[in-house]
């Protein structure tokens, strides 16, 4: 799962994969579903920790790890630290480098030094944009941040670039051509950055396929078929 997911909402997708002949294990980690709501486990970028617990408990090896939305980053992060993960799917891709050398990185470092400025901008955006309000409020909730600036400081840990060179598995990267959450450029950044992966396969979904949106909302079956075809090729 991702930023605001519950395990139950993935049940139909899991059944689709089970019907194709695979065993599926769904789990929620810190910041997600019941782990957050009932156990107050806050989101962490160190997703290798909860993932390793699941792999240990079920005694799993040679698995395919699929991460949805923010889970695209979380799955790649876990794969970087656990060789029992043989294949990893970022469904969809995540930001590659949130603290890089370009304009985005410069702005990020400026706002880290000026939290009051960032808080003012964030609160203004939250008043005028439903999407900004949803994104920032949810991030603050799952991380336990007291202010938008606190969340922004934690966000720097969620960059694929930090672990890209440690990823040696087969990787499938999915992206929507008109994703409103993750710019399409991040797909290309991920493809170019995962240079040590055993293989990198990419798929951009389009409006003609009714799958151009975030996580291919509009044609989930197509995305699942692409994932299943890829798993079949890599196993």
% of the chain beyond a pLDDT of 70: 97
101 confidence band (pLDDT: 50, 70, 90):
low
Number of helices followed by number of strands (H, E) in the chain? 10, 4
Give pLDDT tens digits for 107-142.
Answer: 777 888 888 998 999 999 999 999 899 889 999 999
CA distances from 8 to 33, 61, 149 (A): 9, 25, 32
CA distances from 10 to 22, 24, 121 (A): 15, 11, 34
Of 126, 130, 4, the C-alpha closest to 68 is 4
Give pLDDT tens digits for 141-197.
Answer: 999 999 999 988 888 899 999 999 999 999 999 999 999 889 999 999 999 999 999
Q: What is the pLDDT of residue 156?
A: 84
Provide the annotated active-site residues: 69
Alpha carbon distance 57, 159 (integer Å): 28
pTM assigned to the model: 0.92
Phi, psi of 117 (to 5 degrees): -65, -45
Phi, psi of 39 (to 5 degrees): -105, -5
Q: What is the pLDDT of residue 181?
A: 87
State the average pLDDT over residues 75-90. Answer: 98
Alpha carbon distance 148, 123 (integer Å): 8
Reported CATH class of domain 7-98+158-234: alpha beta
8 CB-contact burial (10 Å; exposed 0-12 / middle 13-18 / buried 19+):
exposed
Give pLDDT tens digits for 183-217.
Answer: 999 999 999 999 999 999 999 999 999 999 999 99
**CA-based R_g, the chain, Å:** 17
Give pLDDT tens digits for 3-26.
Answer: 888 899 999 999 999 999 999 999
The three-state DSSP-derived secondary structure of 169-210 is: CEEEEEEECCCCCCCCHHHHHHHHHCCCCCEEEEEEECHHHC
Locate the domains of the chain by residue range: 7-98+158-234, 103-155
Q: What is the pLDDT of residue 103?
A: 66
């Amino acid at each position: 799962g991702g930023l605001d997911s519950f395990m139950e909402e993935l049940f139909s997708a899991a059944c689709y994969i089970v019907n194709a002949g695979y065993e599926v294990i769904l789990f929620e980690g810190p910041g997600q579903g019941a782990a957050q709501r009932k156990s107050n486990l806050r989101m962490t970028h160190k997703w290798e920790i909860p993932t390793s617990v699941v792999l240990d408990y079920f005694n799993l090896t040679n698995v395919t790890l699929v991460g949805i939305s923010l889970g695209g980053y979380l799955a790649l992060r876990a794969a970087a630290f656990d060789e029992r993960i043989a294949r990893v799917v970022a469904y969809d891709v995540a930001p590659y480098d949130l603290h890089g050398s370009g304009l985005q990185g410069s702005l990020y470092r400026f706002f880290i030094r000026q939290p009051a400025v960032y808080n003012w901008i964030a609160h203004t955006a939250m008043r005028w944009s439903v999407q900004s309000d949803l994104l920032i409020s949810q991030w603050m909730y799952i991380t336990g941040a007291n202010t938008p600036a606190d969340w922004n400081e934690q966000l720097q840990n969620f960059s694929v670039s930090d672990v890209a060179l440690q990823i040696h598995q087969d990787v499938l990267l999915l992206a929507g051509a008109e994703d409103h959450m993750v710019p399409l450029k991040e797909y290309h950044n991920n493809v170019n950055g995962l240079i040590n992966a055993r293989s990198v396969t990419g798929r951009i979904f389009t409006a003609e396929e009714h799958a151009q949106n975030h996580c291919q909302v509009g044609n989930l079956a197509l995305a699942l078929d692409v994932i299943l075809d890829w798993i079949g090729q890599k196993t």
